[in-house]
A and B are shown apart, each in its own frame.
Chain A
Amino acid sequence: MKWRTIASIFIILQAFACNLHSQTADEVRSFSKLFKPAENRPDYSLKIDPSNEFRLILTGGFSFYKTFVSSQDGVKCTFYPSCSIYALNTIKTNGLLGVLDAIDRLTRCNGISPEKYHIHEPSLRFYDPVEKIRH
């Protein structure tokens, strides 16, 4: 009886010793990314494509522009994707007609016709994606 009593008391004490409200080191460390700045991953590639001269000039020019010129541009394009990325993609998709499409995009990049476009949710800009031109 005595041992049973001692064992019962011990078990009860252990239960209370299981400190529900103690904070562990893991819990503290779990907040390590709380104030980390959001990662700004670009939606384009600066890789130069040397497969042929045309692609070399196109991708090389784009990389140069994005690295040395566009990086200093504070005014964000009205559209998503931006005009330079649009130009790159439309020329890749549509060839020579893509060149005309890219120049036309520059004349449209003004924000005075919001009724024409949907909003791209993540960037809150007008959504104007590249489309394959069907003759």
Chain B
Amino acid sequence: MKQKVFFLLVSLISLSAYSPAQTVGETRAFADSLYTAGHLDEALPAYQRTAFFIRPAVDAEVLNRIADCFYSGGDLEKALEFYDHSYFAQTNDSIKKEVLFRKSACYLRSHNYNFALMELLSLEDSLSPGFERKRNFYLGMTWFGLEDFSKAGSYFEKAAEDSVSRQKIKAIFADTRHFYRPNPKLASWLSIILPGAGQIYSGEIWSGINSLLLTGFFVGLGFYIVTVTSPVDALFTALPWFQRYYQGGFQRAADFAKNKRTENRSKIFNEVLAVIASTK
């Protein structure tokens, strides 16, 4: 009887040792489940907690996932920091390469194309076919950002998996002149010669007509004041306003052309992405 009571007591005490508690492993598993389900903003604090409590040990995968969470949340600076930590903690060569690509992606998204180029060029020369195509794709994007479109085109071609896609990309980059149209300088000069012409050249027809009418109004006003009163009055009244909107007109023409050119480039880039994505 005494023995049975003792065993019962011991069992009850032992059960308390099995009471629910969230260990590092469980936290990590929880974070992993959130990560897999795509809830990266919720996974982040759990991963940070895991990384804190396994110190001084370092888990490269945890660091990588923290970086992924920051990347997904748009905090590229923090993502870069953790991708760096992850890179130096990694022992697997393939994963190290993946981390470099992630770093490049961070630099690309923050428009630091030269830094992205540095990361990509730090990869070894001979890579597996999959990595080689990936590198070509990233280099294509980097050179596209650096506005060297012929180089970008050649890298995108190499990134395509089949000959049909390569032909399509070659056709897109065959004539690189359309990457530079409309030309902001040309738009500006057209508006200097004839107010509104630059805007029409850039595709902003109503703005061009508006500019022509507005500057025309002040020219007409100036002539009217000259005939009614004196040229001095026209100088002080109509001329400053004419100058303001005439100057504004050709500055706006250049701005419109620049925006239009950026939109065109974005469209072409998306065409290239569609071709490459269709082969995956």
Contacts and interface: CB of A to CB of B under 8 A. Distances in A.
Contacts, number: 81
Contacts of A69: 214, 245
B211 A35 contact: no
B185 interface: no
Interface stretch (A26-34, A51-59, A89-97): A26-34
B210 interface: yes
Interface in B87-113: 94-95, 97-98, 105, 108-109
The contact size tier of chain A is 20 to 34
B108 A21 contact: no
B280 interface: yes
Contacts of A15: none
Contact of B98 (A20, A24, A35): A20
A128 B171 CA distance: 52
Interface string A6-27: 0000000000000111111100
B272 to A, nearest CB: 10
Q: Is the interface of B mostly helix, strand, loop or mixed?
A: helix
Given A72-B249, A74-B249, A37 B259 contact: yes
A115 interface: no
A35 B250 CA distance: 25
B135 to A, nearest CB: 10
A109 B109 CA distance: 37
B262 A25 contact: no
A21 B249 contact: no
A34 B277 CA distance: 15
Contact of A23 (B134, B244, B270): B134
B131 interface: yes
B167 interface: no
A21 to B, nearest CB: 4
B162 interface: no
Contacts of B128: 21
B145 interface: yes
Interface residues of B, number: 42
Contacts of A75: 244, 247-248, 251
B214 A34 contact: no
Given A35-B145, A35-B262, A71 B207 contact: yes
Question: Max chain B CB contacts within 10 Å: which of A21, A34, A72?
Answer: A72
Contact of B130 (A23, A34, A36): A23
B144 A74 contact: no
B273 A32 contact: yes
Given A21-B134, A74-B250, A74-B251, A34 B259 contact: no
A73 interface: yes
A29 B105 CA distance: 13
A20 B102 CA distance: 13
Given A35-B144, A72-B211, A25 B280 contact: yes
Nearest to B249: A72
Contact of B276 (A28, A34, A36, A37): A28
Contacts of B133: 23
Interface in A68-127: 68-69, 71-75
A30 to B, nearest CB: 8
A26 B110 CA distance: 20
Given A37-B259, A72-B207, A74-B250, A21 B94 contact: yes
Contact of B277 (A29, A71, A72): A29
Nearest to B250: A74
B199 to A, nearest CB: 9
8 contacts: A21-B131, A24-B280, A28-B137, A29-B277, A34-B108, A72-B210, A72-B252, A74-B248
Interface of A: 19-25, 28-29, 31-32, 34-37, 68-69, 71-75
